[in-house]
Amino acid sequence: MKNKILIIEKDKGLQDSFRQLLEKNGYEVRITEKEDDGIALLRNSRFNHVIFSLDNKDSGLSFLKKGVSLCPDGHFIATDSAGDVDIALEALSIGARDYIQKPPKDGQLLFTLRHGEEEGILTIENKILKEEIAQLYTFGELETSSPSLKEAFEIMQRASRYDAPVLITGESGIGKERVAKAIHYNSNRKYNSFTWVACNGLEDDLFEKEVFGEDGPVIKADGGTIFFDEVSNLSLPMQIKLLNLINERVIEHHSSGRVTRADIRVICATSKGLEGIIQKGDFKKELFYAIGVVKINLPPLREHIEDLPRLSEKFIKKCCKRHKMSPKKISKEAMEVMLNYSWPGNIRELENVIERAAIVSDDEYINKAALPSYIIEHVGAHEHIKSMDIDDMSLSIKKCSRALEIRLIQRALQATGWNKTQASKLLEISLPALIYKIKDYGISGSG
């Protein structure tokens, strides 16, 4: 399909040269002398490019204002014979995307048209891409049977309508970034950027330069949303910078001393209890109030385990599509094991387990054998405890507790190949506590 060009030009010589050049290069050309006729054509037809004259400033700028409203995606090119920079700048501020002095130099007009077409394609592709991304983060995708999660989702929907800062709390792997994206892509900022910032691993000087610097993500996120993940890890000086960003909507660049205004929506997340960190003096109370205008607490997967079948089905479909596999399902036996597991790694662990199981399964069904051994061992240990007959044990709670702890620790260590970090997660105790108990109970690899 040919690109269509509308030209408003009174000079007959320029009309002829424009038509000859553009039709020769594959464009469909419409030419008129009057701005009113140009407006009528814009009302009834779609044009990729509009070339108009500013030789009469008032009528030219009036045409531009009306034309841009009728054809917001059009590439408007202002022209004039005098080379008046002030008029050109005014036209660019109203909506023209390029300016050419008449008569154009050799190749200038075609270059300007091609450049505009490339920019237009990128703009359309970017909009389509962001619409596709937004579909992945609709609130319809975040279904649940859990009353606590339903309440969280209702808060998310309300939060997406406004620009107030949001604080998302919950354990690691719970899906805090996904919630932040859902808020962004359901807001009026959805066509602007969503920027993720990890608040750990960098010294202050480097963090300030990389994040708050003049070429950093905070500046580039202007008009969009910036997500500070694990905000509790920010140092006190960086907390002050974030506080200024939220309260004053400004960024002070330490290196140059410049101050930049920023139109940004701030969403923060943490897996730690900020109240306790505030009491230690490591987190500013003012920032806690600033980032937590809207608070969303996400419960761990074990507290809404009824959602696991639906989540598993969703992750299987995603995995099969990504790896171009035939559709798979989870067997009843495998699902029963998964429903009885505590999922310390939450949603992230579930998705990883599903992907691994789908890859190692050759059949249509994902069976129990495809699940990681540590999950099967963990569930087996709990089932064994449930089935213990009290008559086989001492009635001393102290002795029974000790015996149970030893057996559970041994099972967890065996299931993980003596990986103490992983075993502590299975046992749901801290690593230092596990190391202490191994020493106290005299548990060895041969035991």
Residue 122 has pLDDT above 50, yes or no: no
Residue 167 has pLDDT above 90, yes or no: yes
pLDDT, one tens digit per residue, over 50-83 is 999 999 999 999 999 999 888 887 889 999 998 8
Q: CA of 446: how far to CAs of 405, 413, 433, 442, in Å?
A: 17, 11, 21, 11
Percent of the chain at pLDDT > 70 equals 87
Side chain identity at residue 244, one-letter code: N
Within the chain, which residue ranges are assigned CATH 1.10.8.60?
304-371
pLDDT, one tens digit per residue, over 373-405 is 888 887 765 555 555 554 454 556 666 677 778
Residue 215 has pLDDT above 80, yes or no: no
Nearest CA among 183, 231, 187 for reference residue 211: 231
Cis peptide before 217 (omega within 30 of 0): no
Q: Which CATH superfamily is domain 147-299 in?
A: P-loop containing nucleotide triphosphate hydrolases (3.40.50.300)
Q: Which CATH superfamily is domain 4-127 in?
A: Response regulator (3.40.50.2300)
Q: CA of 27: how far to CAs of 32, 38, 47, in Å?
A: 16, 18, 11
The tokens for 234 are: 């920010």
How far is the C-alpha of 324 from the C-alpha of 316, rounded, in Å?
12
Residue 121 has pLDDT above 70, yes or no: no
How far is the C-alpha of 78 from the C-alpha of 80, rounded, in Å?
7
Within the chain, which residue ranges are assigned CATH 3.40.50.2300?
4-127
Percent of the chain at pLDDT > 90 equals 38
250-252 and 259-261 strand pairing: antiparallel
Q: Tell me, what's the pLDDT at 447? A: 45
The Cβ of residue 209 has, within 10 Å, a number of other Cβ atoms equal to: 17
The answer to whether 88 touches 78, Cβ cutoff 8 Å, is yes
How far is the C-alpha of 374 from the C-alpha of 414, rounded, in Å?
9
pLDDT, one tens digit per residue, over 221-238 is 888 999 999 999 999 999
pLDDT, one tens digit per residue, over 40-54 is 999 888 888 999 999
Tell me which fold the domain 388-441 belongs to: Arc Repressor Mutant, subunit A (1.10.10)
Within the chain, which residue ranges are assigned CATH 1.10.10?
388-441
Q: Mean pLDDT over all residues of the chain?
A: 84
Q: CA of 308: how far to CAs of 151, 203, 314, 367, 371, in Å?
A: 18, 39, 10, 16, 15
pLDDT, one tens digit per residue, over 308-361 is 998 999 899 989 988 888 999 999 999 999 998 889 889 999 999 999 999 998
Judge residue 445's burial from the number of C-beta atoms within 10 Å of its C-beta, 0-12 exposed, 13-18 middle, 19 or more buried.
exposed
Q: Tell me, what's the pLDDT at 125? A: 46
Tell me which fold the domain 304-371 belongs to: Helicase, Ruva Protein; domain 3 (1.10.8)
φ, ψ for residue 77, nearest 5 deg: -120, 115
* Position 39 confidence tier, pLDDT thresholds 50, 70, 90: very high
Side chain identity at residue 293, one-letter code: V
Rg (CA), the chain: 31
| Mean pLDDT computed over 88-117 | 87
φ, ψ for residue 379, nearest 5 deg: -65, -40
pTM of the entire structure?
A: 0.59
- Residue 35 or residue 137, greater confidence: 35
Residue 123 has pLDDT above 80, yes or no: no
- Identify any residues that bridge with 389 across adjacent strands, giving them in sequence order: none
Tokens 């109970």 belong to: 441
The tokens for 137 are: 């983060």
Helices and strands, number each (H, E), in the chain:
19, 14
Q: Tell me, what's the pLDDT at 238? A: 92
- Residue 14 or residue 215, greater confidence: 14
| Mean pLDDT computed over 34-40 | 91
How far is the C-alpha of 435 from the C-alpha of 443, rounded, in Å?
10
